[in-house]
Amino acid sequence: MCFTLDVDRRGNISIVRVLGDLDVYTAPRLDDCLQQIIAAGSTSLAIDLENCSYLDSEGIKALIKARGSAEERVRLSICGARGTVLRVFRISGLDTIFKMLSSTDDLPDG
């Protein structure tokens, strides 16, 4: 499957949409993208996983790294996780450390 990252802005919120499998081959691209957004001074970052079909440990690592880089100065949300991707968050307990939203429609007005 093709992997695509789409970066958009809604007010002050940076939204990164993931399309395809987030795995050992594609996670470095997401990591680079997230680190650039955080380094640029974004104060709110949403990672939209609605169209992410697979998530492995490297994808999880990229998300945890972003959370660590964001610290307290960046609001970080995971949006649209469903199916097996949501199951990975629940089994690993990551749903308790990330702000989980049903979709980007649930983001506050930016």
Query: Token pair for residue 6?
Result: 């789409």
Structural domains counted in the chain: 1
110 found inside a domain:
no
Range of the structural domain that residue 83 is part of: 4-105
Q: What is the pLDDT of residue 39?
A: 94
Contact of 110 with 87, CB cutoff 8 Å: no
40/107 Cα distance (integer angstroms)? 21
Residue 53 scores a pLDDT above 70:
yes
Domain of 63, CATH number, reads 3.30.750.24
What's this model's pTM, rounded to 2 decimal places? 0.94
Per-residue pLDDT of 4-31, as tens digits, reads: 999 999 999 999 999 999 999 999 999 9
What was the pLDDT predicted at 1?
A: 61
Residue 20 inside a domain? The answer is: yes
Is residue 105 classed as helix, strand or coil in its secondary structure?
A: helix
Calculate mean pLDDT across residues 70-84.
94
DSSP per-residue codes, 22-61:
ESTTTHHHHHHHHHHHHHTT-SEEEEEEEEEEEE-HHHHH
In a domain, 27, yes or no: yes
Residue 11 in any domain: the answer is yes
Tokens 């939204």 belong to which residue? 15
79 part of a folded domain: yes
